[in-house]
Structure 1
Amino acid sequence: MVITARQADVTVITLIPNRSANGRQLKLFFLPLAAISLLIATFWTFMGAWVVLPFAGLEVGLLAFILHRVWLFNQRQQQITLKRDTIAIDDDEPAFASNCLLQRSETRLSIANSPAAEVDEVCLFDTAHRVELGGFLNNSDKQLVVTELKGEGLPVFLYVRADSSM
C-alpha cells in the first residue's frame, strides 16, 4: 500500500505491505489449530502413545514461530520524506532498521524491469548510497511509487534485466 501526504514543500510517501490478516486474526487462526493439535496429542498420550506429544508441541511451536514472522513482516514500513534539498528514507524493518539522508540534487531514481514484471526493483541512489524502495510491494504498488517519485521531478534511470531462466 502506498500513502502519499503533501504539505507545503514536503512530500511524505509511506510504503506498507498489503496485509491479508492483522495480529488479532492471526491469533484467532492459531489458537484453534493449536488447541485441536494438543487435544489430539493428549488423547494419544493417555492411550499410551506418549511419543506423539513432543511432536505435537514441536508442530504448535513451529506454527507459532511462522505466524510471528508473518506478523513482523506485516508491520514493516518505509517512509520517504522529500524536501526541497533532501530526501530522507526511514526503514523500520526490525532486522535492518535504518535511516538514510540523500541530497536531492544528486539523487536518481533507478527502475529495473524484468520480462516477468513491469517494475522489478525501485531504488533511490546518489554517490554514496543505494536504497531499495518497497521490496515488499506488489507490482502495481511499485508502479505507483514510481509515478509519485517521477511527479516529484527526480531524474530516472531505466534498465531491463535479462531473463535469468534461460
Structure 2
Amino acid sequence: MVSVKHQPHYSLISLQPNRSADWIHNKWLMAGMAGVALIIATMWAFFGIWIVFPFAGIEVGLLCYMLYRVSKNTYRTQTLSFEKDFVHIQSNHKATRPITLNRKDTHLEMSESPRDWYLPQLVLVTPDHHVPVGDFLNQTDRHQLYEEIKKMGIPAWRHHWWKH
C-alpha cells in the first residue's frame, strides 16, 4: 500500500505490504488446523496407529512457524521523506539505519524482466548509494510508487522504456 502526504516543507510516502489477515486471524487459523490435525490423529490412534501423533505435531508446528514468519513480514514499513535538498529513507526491517540522500544527485531506476517473469525492482541511486525501495510491494503498488516518486520531481527511468 502506498500512501502520500504533502506537508508545507516536505512530502512523505509511506509504504507497507497488503495484508489479507492480521495476526489474530492467523492465530485462529493455527488453532483450527491444530484442532483438525488432533482429531484426525486421535481417530488413527484409536485404531492402533499411534505413530500419527508425532507427524501431526510436526505438521502443525511447521504451519505455525510459516504463518508466523509470513505474518511478521506483512508488518514491514518503509518511509520516504522528500525535502527541498534531501531524501530520507527509513525502514523498520532488521534494525536498518535511516539513509539520507542528496536530492539533486538522486534518480530512480526501475528494472523489469522482458516478459514480466519477476516483479520490477525500484532503486534510488546516487553516485555513492543504491537503495532499493518497496521490495515488499506487489506489482501494482510498485508502479504506483514509481509514478509518485516521479511526481516528487526525482528523475526516473525504466530499463525497458517501451513497456506501458
| TM-score normalised according to structure 2 size | 0.88
1:100 alignment partner AA: I
Normalized per residue, the structure richer in strand is 1
- 1:18-74 CA-to-partner distances (Å, cap 9, x unmatched) read 111111111122211111102221333344322111101000000001100110111
Tell me the number of residue pairs that the alignment of Structure 1 and Structure 2 aligns: 160
Q: CA RMSD in A?
A: 2.0
**Aligned partner of residue 58 in structure 1, secondary structure:** helix
Q: In the alignment, what sits opposite 1:14?
A: 14
What letter matches 1:116 in structure 2?
R
Distance 1:158 1:40 in 2: 53
- Structure 1 runs of 4+ off > 4 angstroms? none
For residues 66 and 143 of structure 1, the distance between their equivalents in structure 2, rounded to whole angstroms, comes to 29
In the alignment, structure 1 residue 109 sits paired with structure 2 residue 111? no
In the alignment, the residues of structure 2 paired with residue 112 and residue 89 of structure 1 have an alpha-carbon distance, to the nearest angstrom, of 20
Q: 1:91: how far off?
A: 1.7
Matched ranges for 1:33-112 at <5 A: 33-94=33-94, 97-112=96-111
CA distance in 1, matches of 2:156, 2:143: 13
Alignment partner of 1:28 is 2:28 = yes
- In structure 2, the CA distance between the partners of 1:144 and 1:35, relative to structure 1 (3 Å rule), is same
Paired residues for 1:131-146 under 5 Å? 131-146=131-146
The whole-number CA distance in structure 2 between the counterparts of 1:156 and 1:134 is 15
Q: Which amino acid aligns with 1:11?
A: S
Q: Which whole-Å CA distance do the structure 2 matches of 1:74 and 1:113 have between them? A: 23
Distance across 1 between alignment mates of 2:113 and 2:43: 53
For the residues of structure 2 that align with 1:143 and 1:61, how far apart are their CA atoms?
Answer: 37
SS of 2:98 mapped into structure 1: strand
Q: Percent identical across equivalent pairs?
A: 35
Contiguous gaps of at least 5 residues in structure 1 = 162-166
How far apart in 2 are the matches of 1:23 and 1:150?
A: 35
